[in-house]
Chain A
Amino acid sequence: MKAGWNECKQESRFTSALPTDPKQTLLQLRELFGNPPDFQSTAIRIGSANGFICILKTMGDPKTMSDKLLVPLMEEASQGNSPLQFPQLEQMRQERLGVLPFVYAATIREAAERMLAGDAILLAEGVDKALCIEIGGIAARSIEEPKSQRVNRGSDDAFTEAMDTNISLLRRRLRNPLLRIEPFTAGEETRTSISLVYLENAAAPSLVSEFRRRLTAIKVRAIYDSGNVEELIGDKGSWFFPTVLDVERPDTVASMLVEGRCAVIVDGSPYVLIGPAVYGNYFISAGDYYFRPILANLIRLLRHTAFLISLFLPAFYLCVINYHSQMIPTTLLYSISGQEQGSPFPVGFMLIAMTLIFEVLREAGTRVPKSIGQAVPLAGAIILGEAAVQAGIVSNIILIVVASTELCGLVTPHYEFSNTVRIIRFGLLLLSSVLGIYGIFLGLVALVIHLASLHSFGVPYLKPFAPFRWRQQRDMLVRFSLKNEDPST
C-alpha cells in the first residue's frame, strides 16, 4: 500500500518553497491530484505578469470565482511581460480583492490543502507564494427543520452539514465577542475539520483544556460524522448511557454554551456534540423553556415517569404474573388469568417475542424508503398485533404492555437515550424471568451503581441528584420560572 497523504506530505517536494515559475507549480499541483476532471486551471494576466488560476470546481463555485476574482483582475491587466514581486501582488490584492478571505501558501502542500478547502489558487510569475482566495459556494443543504428534536413552540431551524452555516446559526444567537471557536482537524484520510466552541466567560478553563486534549488526541483514519467524534472523546466506561449530548437545535446549543458547556461542531454532521452531559439533560427539551413553567414541569415529570415505565414495565409484568400473583388486584387477576388461559406459550416467551417484533418494526420503519412512507411499520404493527390476538397466540394484555413500553420509551427528547432503554429493558426482562422481582431489584441496583460511577468530562453523571446540589435543582427535575435578575447582586 502506498503512503497516505499524512505521511507523504512530509516529503521534501511538497514542503520546499514554491518555484517562481507558475507553470511548474501548476504541473506539480496537477500531478499531486492526479489530473482529475474537476481540476480547472487557466492562464490569466495578473497586472503586467502572466499567471495561472486554478480551482477544484467541485469544491468552489467557478461562477463565484469569475465574479469575485477574474473580473477585478482583468480590469487591472496591462500589457507587458515583467514578473511580479510579492509586494506588488499583495498591493494588487488589497486594491482589487478587498475583503475576500485569503491566505498565502508557501508550499505545494499548503496550496493543495487550501484547494481542498474550496479556495482558488492564484499563481503569479515571479512570486514564490500562491495566493489562495476563499471561494466556497459549493452545493449544500439549506437550513431545515429539526428532524428528531422537534418542539411545539420555538425556533424551527436546525444545524446542517456545513460547518460555516452551523457556526453562523450559533453566532446569530450569541452575539457576543467572547464566543470562542477553535479549529481542529482529525482523520488522517478525511481531514475533517472540527470546531470547539465555548463562551470564554462561562466555560471553566479546565473543561476547555480537557476538550482540547481529547480533540487533539484523536488519531483515526477517518471521521464521517459527529458520531465518530462522540465515540472518541466520550468518557470510557459507560455501557449504554451516552455521556455526550448530540443536539441539532442551535437554541439548545446556545443555552448550553451560556451555561458553561463546550460544543464540538464536526464538519459534515448536522448534530453538534455537547459536554459534559448528565442524566437529567436527556429529559430536557428546548421547548420546556418556551412554555409556562407549570406545564413544562409536569411534562418533564411525565418524561421521567415514562422513562421508568418503559424500563421496568415488561419486566415487572412478567415477574408479577409468574411469581407474585398475590400482588395483583384481585379483579385484575381474574381478567389477566382469563386472557392467559390456554395460551400456547409462556408469558415470558411471548413478551420477549413481541418486544423483538416491535424492535424489528422499528428498524424496518427507519430503513423503509421514504416513498413507501410510514405505511409499512404502522400496518405491520396493527395487523400483526391484531392477528396475533385473534389467533390466540398473544393475549391482549401483553400487547398493551409491549406497546405502552415502546411508546413510553420514545418520550425522551434525545433519541439516543431511547436506544439505551431498549437494551437495558431486555436485560431486566431476562433477569425478572429467571429471578422474579428479586431479579429486577438486582438489575436496578447494578444500574444505579453504574450510573453513580459514570462521569462525563469529570462531572458525576447523576449530578445534581447524587451528589445532591440544592441550587442546581432549579433546572433539572423541575424548571423554576424565569425572573429578572436582581441588579443589586
Chain B
Amino acid sequence: MIGRMVRQMAIVLILGMLSLVGAGCWDMRSANEYVIVSSMSVTTGDGANYHVYLQMINALEFASSRATGSTPTYSIDAEGNTMDEAFGRIERKTARKLELSHMMLLILDAKLLATDKGLLFFEFLESMKDIRNDIQLVVSHRVAASEFSKLYFPEIRVSTVKLRRGLDSVEANWGGSPNTNLKQFIAAITSEGRQPVMSSVTMKLPSKQQQSVDAGKSTDSPTELVIDGTAVMRRAKLVGFLNTEETRDLLWIQDRIKDTSLTVQCGEDQYAQIRIGRSTTQLNVDYIDNRPKVKISINVEGAVSENQCESIRLSKISGFEQIRKLTEKAIQSHVEATVAKVQKKYGVDIFGFGEKLMGDHYQTFKIVKSHWDDEFVKAEVAVDVQAAIMRDGMISENLFRDIPGQSE
C-alpha cells in the first residue's frame, strides 16, 4: 500500500520535472522583445540565392495612446544563400527577434519563379515551423515584389494587410483571384493531376509619394494595388498569367465561384448585367479514344441587375428567357475559350481534370499520369451551362420607354 503510494508520488514528481524541462521560460518572448513581420517578399539576389524583404510593424503606431504619426510599417531587406541566412541578417539589423507567425502574405517575384530556385524556396516554407500554412502566396506581376511592402495607405495602414483583404474580397465577391495558401499550394505542386496556380498582383503607377505617411494627406493617391488574375505554374516554375476574366472561368470550373457579376451583350453597344448569386459545377472526366473527355456542367442562379437592351422586355417571361440564353451562351463561350487558351498557350492542367480522372477512373489515370499534361492538351472539353434568372431589379420596365420622345 505504502509502496504503491510512493511509486505514484514518484511518477507524479517525474512527470512534473519532465514538464518543467519540456516547456518553459526559455521559449518565452515578451511582447516588447520581438518585432512583428506582416509580409515577406522574395526575389533573386545579386550576390546570393535570395533577396528577402520583410515588412515590419512599427507597433507603437498601433497603440492609440502612443502613436506619434510616424510610419506604421517599415521594410528591411537582406540577401542570403538560404532563407534562414537572410533572416539572420535581418535580425541583426533589427536587433530584435522576428515574429513570423503573423505573416499574412508571401509575395514572390516573377524573376525568382523563372529560375530553379523557386523549388528550393518552397521546401524552406514547408519546413519552417514559425510560418503558418495558411499564409497566402502571390506572384508580383510587372513590378518588383519588394515594392508592395513599402507602400502606405491611410485606410489600412499596413499595405500587405490591405492587399490580403483585397484578395479575399475579390475572390469572394467577384471570383477574380484564385487565392492559394501554402497548404493548398503544396497539395497542388505534389499532385499528379494538377498544376499549381497563385494569385497575381500588380501595381498601377508605382510612386515615391505612396511610400510616405504623407500619402494620407492627399485625396488623390497615385498608386493603386491591382489584383490582376492568375499566375500559371508548371510545378515551381512560372509559365504565364491569366487575366481576371479568365481567372473567373478557372474558378468556375473548380466550383469556387460564390458571387459574381456578368456583363452580356445584347445588341449594338447595349449590355445587360447579371448578378450571379449561386453557382455549382459538376466535372466529369473520362478517357475515351486515347484522349480525355471533359464535361463541365455549370448551374447558376442569378438576377438581372441592369438592362440596357431595348429588345429585351423583362415584364414578359420571354424577356427572361432571352437573358437566360444570353447568359448561358456567355459563360459557355468564355469557359471554353479559357480552357482552350490554357491548353494551347501553357499546356498545364491547372484545372485539376487529372485529379478528377484519378478519383473516378484510377486505372485509366495510372496509364497516362506520367505524361498527363500532354494528355490534357489533347482533351476534348464540353461546357454545358444551365442558368436560372430569378428576378430583375426594382423596376421591370425600362425607364427610357417612359421618357417622351425616346420610345420608338
Contacts and interface: CB of A to CB of B under 8 A. Distances in A.
B294 interface: no
Contact of B62 (A335, A343, A436, A438): A335
Given A337-B57, A436-B23, A342 B28 contact: no
Interface in B18-74: 19-20, 22-25, 27-32, 34, 36, 38, 57, 59-63, 65-67
Contact of A323 (B28, B102, B132): B28
A438 B22 CA distance: 10
B19 A341 contact: no
Residue in B24, B31, B63, B67 with the greatest tally of chain A CB atoms within 10 Å: B31
A342 B32 CA distance: 6
Contacts of A43: none
Contacts of B57: 334, 337
B101 A325 contact: yes
Contact of B63 (A335, A347, A434, A436): A335
B12 to A, nearest CB: 10
Contacts of A337: 31-32, 34, 36, 57, 59, 62
Interface size class of B (residues with CB under 8 A): 20 to 34
Given A330-B102, A335-B62, A347 B20 contact: no
B306 interface: no
A438 B27 contact: no
A325 B28 CA distance: 10
A42 interface: no
Nearest to A435: B23
Nearest to B15: A442
A458 interface: no
A321 B31 contact: yes
Nearest to A327: B101
B99 interface: yes
Residue in A325, A342, A343 with the greatest tally of chain B CB atoms within 10 Å: A325
A338 B157 CA distance: 14
Contact of A336 (B20, B29, B31, B66): B31
A406 to B, nearest CB: 22
A407 interface: no
A337 B25 CA distance: 19
B104 interface: yes
Contacts, number: 88
Interface string A340-357: 111100110000000000
Contact of B66 (A331, A341, A347, A434): A341
Given A326-B101, A330-B102, A338 B61 contact: yes
B27 A323 contact: yes
A341 B60 CA distance: 7
A396 interface: yes
B28 A322 contact: yes
Interface in A432-452: 434-436, 438, 442
Contact of A438 (B19, B28, B38, B132): B19
Contacts of A338: 59-63, 66-67
Contact of B102 (A333, A335, A434): A333
B25 A340 contact: no
Contacts of B101: 325-326
B342 to A, nearest CB: 35
A331 B164 CA distance: 13
Contacts of B28: 322-323, 436
Contacts of A340: 30-32, 59
Contacts of A322: 28-31
A339 B132 contact: no
A347 B31 contact: yes
B36 A434 contact: no
A326 B66 contact: no
Interface in B105-136: 132
Interface string A423-438: 0000000000011101
Contact of A333 (B23, B25, B36, B67): B36
Given A323-B29, A334-B36, A434 B59 contact: no
Interface of A: 321-323, 325-326, 330-331, 333-343, 346-347, 389, 395-396, 434-436, 438, 442
12 contacts: A321-B31, A325-B101, A330-B38, A334-B57, A337-B34, A337-B59, A338-B67, A339-B63, A340-B30, A340-B31, A435-B19, A438-B22
Given A333-B102, A389-B65, A435-B24, 15 more contacts: A325-B101, A325-B102, A326-B101, A330-B102, A331-B161, A337-B36, A337-B59, A337-B62, A338-B67, A341-B31, A342-B32, A434-B20, A436-B23, A436-B27, A438-B19
